Amino acid sequence: MRTREPTDTARGAGQRASELGREWAPDVQQLVVATAGALLVGVLYLALPSEVTRVPSWLLLVVEALLLAPPFVAALFLERALPYPMARGLAFSLLAVLTAALIGSVTLLVSQIGGHITGRELIRPAGLLWASNVLVFAIWYWETDGGGPRNRFAAGHQAADFKFPQQDGGNPTGWAPGFVDYLFLAFCTATALSPADTVPLARRAKLLMMAEAVISGLILVLLIARSVNII
* Backbone Cα Rg of the chain: 21
Candidates 63, 210, 71; CA nearest to 150 is 71
pLDDT of residue 82: 78
pLDDT digits (tens, 9 = 90+) for 170-199: 888 889 999 999 999 999 999 988 888 899
**Segment holding 162, helix H or strand E:** strand 162-163
CB 162 within 8 A of CB 141: yes
Domain layout of the chain by residue ranges: 26-230
Q: Is the pLDDT of residue 46 over 70?
A: yes
pLDDT digits (tens, 9 = 90+) for 48-77: 988 888 889 899 999 999 998 888 787 777
Candidates 120, 127, 89; CA nearest to 106 is 127
Contact residues for 24 (Cβ-Cβ < 8 A; gap 6+): 31, 75, 81
Long-range contacts of 73-76 (CB under 8 A, 24+ apart): 75/20, 75/24
